[in-house]
Structure 1
Amino acid sequence: MIDERFAAEFLGPVEEAVRRAAAAEIMPRFRALTADEVSEKNGPHDLVTVADRGAEAHLTAALTALLPGSVVVGEEAVAADPDLYTELAGDRPVWIVDPIDGTRTFVRGGEGFCTLVALAHHGELLASWTYAPARDRMATALRGGGARLDGVPLRAGSPADGAPLEIAASYPFHATPATRRALLRLRAEGMRTQGVRIRPCAGSAGLEYVEIARGALDATVFGWENAWDHAAGLLLVAEAGGAHATLAGTPFRLAGGNTLPFVTARDATTTARVRRLLLGEEPGARP
């Protein structure tokens, strides 16, 4: 099994590969997409562009060349071949790639999108890269080696005593009934009286994780488990001192089968509190 010492050798080369992919495939099309360069995968809320496909192809070639024998589990490749997702539970090192996290924002011309890459082996996250090309900001994490944003160490810290708890939560679109009930508890009328403020998740899950890692957001709650949306950010937050848990109280599994929704927060105490809110175990939460 490859480990974090081995993964550390890839921090610089992968950062360069991500920057090159963005420069070649994404930024030339930013605010310059034509109608025929945007299509729907599973409805109007699930868009894909020529930039998504081009960036993923670029990264697939670069990353597998850096680590022979590895495989890329990318959002667009899995859309074409769902069986590829099973590689997350396999024996080969896996690069988990979202070429454009926040495609709808990208299509609208907003800057809130990013490219996500994580390296995992046997279900363990080893390193990650989160790059916001329109803002030229790069966050990296190495298991046991900390998290950084533009080279500056990140510490998530803890919410200030008495301050409202700021949570970004996904809406229960396409959720199972149990997941939907849990997500709706956060929108109960009593939440504000409990010092909890809920806002919708932004268009990019990856950028929400950066906000937690730098202490600008207290927690997120997501109702879906696609590894390419979460892998990079989960390691980033963990290395910044944060924590996460599924609704069942277990760690998030990259290969899927998680009890949703799941919580990521600045510290373990906040993670536990938000989980209790989702379960209806705190005053103000809808039963």
Structure 2
Amino acid sequence: MIETTTESIDDFLHHKVTDRLVADVERVVRAAAAAEITPRFRQLAAHEIEEKSAPHDLVTVADKRAEEYLTRELAALLPGSCVVGEEAVAADPTTYEAIRAAAPVWIVDPVDGTRQFVHGDPGFCTLVALALDGVVVASWTYAPALDEFAVAVRGRGARLDGRVLPAGSPTPGADLRVATSHPDYTTDDQKRALLGLRTDGVAPRPCGSAGLEYLAVARGDLDAVAFSWELAWDHAAGLLLVEEAGGAHLTRAGVPFAITGGNALPFTAARDAATARRVAGLLSAGA
């Protein structure tokens, strides 16, 4: 990865990530959902649902068409940028490498929580993040069925429907509420690490849509997440949302999660730095 100075990120934020761009991206995300996702919610035909490479890893016509819409419109908003989308990478894995390149990159998950979407559960969302040289500078999280829209810009805070998001700290004396990866999608080593959370003072539960779990942390409804996979489209938007709400993230090695990969898994994102350190320590102890 090309080295990036703080000044170059600051310059990009000042000159490119303007209020107008932030608003334009929100408009595009809402339009993509209105055109390609919402009309198919609870209306999918059997032939519009497919399994990808792994059993239960679903993709629908809504995922594909929403990503096509977002890819076209987002690239037009920022000349010289590229798009890394979940469905495009499924078709050509080499496109994922753009996350590690120097050009600005839009990281897109058109329907995060496809299983919920297929089953008619409103717990799904569209995730978009903008990154430069591996640093996420802005993110958009839209849950159309719940009518919630969260935006974060590095150094400018996080907002949900225009209201500032303060993640706050866990309730003293209460069990930590932690959403975790499902055991079916973890290696044996990761299972052992996650078992570290099965201790007094912690209340783990299986996660739903990753994007909405991050939003729950950012709004203070959940204390932490502990995830065992590192695909950027699932995490980039939510990690910045949690950071800008006052939270923190750490891998099992005790360093922040990198969207470019190579992380010691599982990792955590939490409402505050102390909680992140505690959860990361439990993950390391369980390994």
Shorter-chain TM band = over 0.9
Alignment partners' CA distance in 1, 2:203 and 2:58: 29
Provide Cα deviations, 1:197-225, integer angstroms capped at 9, x if missing partner. Answer: 111111x1000001000111000000000
Is contact 1:172–1:184 with CA below 8 Å preserved after alignment? Answer: no
Aligned equivalents of 1:273 and 1:152: distance in 2?
29
* DSSP 3-state at the match of 2:64: helix
How far did residue 278 of structure 1 move? 1.1
Corresponding residue number in structure 2 for 1:196 = 202
C-alpha distance in 1 between matches for 2:155 and 2:226: 25
Aligned to 1:279: 284
Question: Which runs of 5 or more structure 2 residues have no equivalent in the other structure?
Answer: 1-7
Find the partner of 2:241 among 222, 236, 244: 236
Shift of 1:3: 2.1
Q: What amino acid does structure 2 have at the position aligned with 1:228? A: W
Aligned to 2:4: none
Q: What SS does the corresponding residue of 2:183 show, helix, strand or coil?
A: coil
AA aligned opposite 2:63? D
**What is the rounded CA distance, in whole Å, between the counterparts of 1:276 and 1:124 in structure 2?**
25
Counterparts of residues 71-86 of structure 1 (less than 5 Å): 71-86=82-97
**Residue in 2 aligned with 1:283?**
none
- The reply to whether residue 160 of structure 1 matches residue 171 of structure 2 is yes
Q: Secondary structure at the match of 1:7?
A: coil
Q: CA deviation at 1:174?
A: 4.1
Structure 1 unaligned residues grouped into runs of 5+: 281-285
Between 1:2-11 and 1:154-163, the stretch displaced more is: 2-11
The correspondence of residues 61-80 of structure 1 with structure 2, limited to 5 A, is 61-80=72-91
Instruction: Give the 3-state SS of the residue equivalent to 2:76 in structure 1.
Output: helix
Offset from partner CA, 1:108-131 (integer Å, 9 cap, x none): 001000000000000111100000
- Is 2:275 aligned against 1:270? yes
Cα offset, 1:136, TM superposition: 1.4
- Identify the residue that residue 103 of structure 1 maps to in structure 2: 114
- Alpha-carbon distance in structure 2 between the residues aligned to 1:250 and 1:141: 22
Root mean square deviation of aligned Cα: 1.2
Matched, 1:50 2:61: yes
> Within the alignment, does 1:4 sit opposite 2:13 as a pair?
yes
Match of 2:256 among 251, 255, 266: 251
After TM superposition, what 4+ stretches of structure 1 lie above 6 angstroms from structure 2? Answer: none
Partner-residue secondary structure (3-state), 1:10: helix
Task: Give TM-score, length-normalised by structure 2.
Answer: 0.93
Distance 1:206 1:13 in 2: 21
Mapped partners of 1:128, 1:110: distance in 2: 24
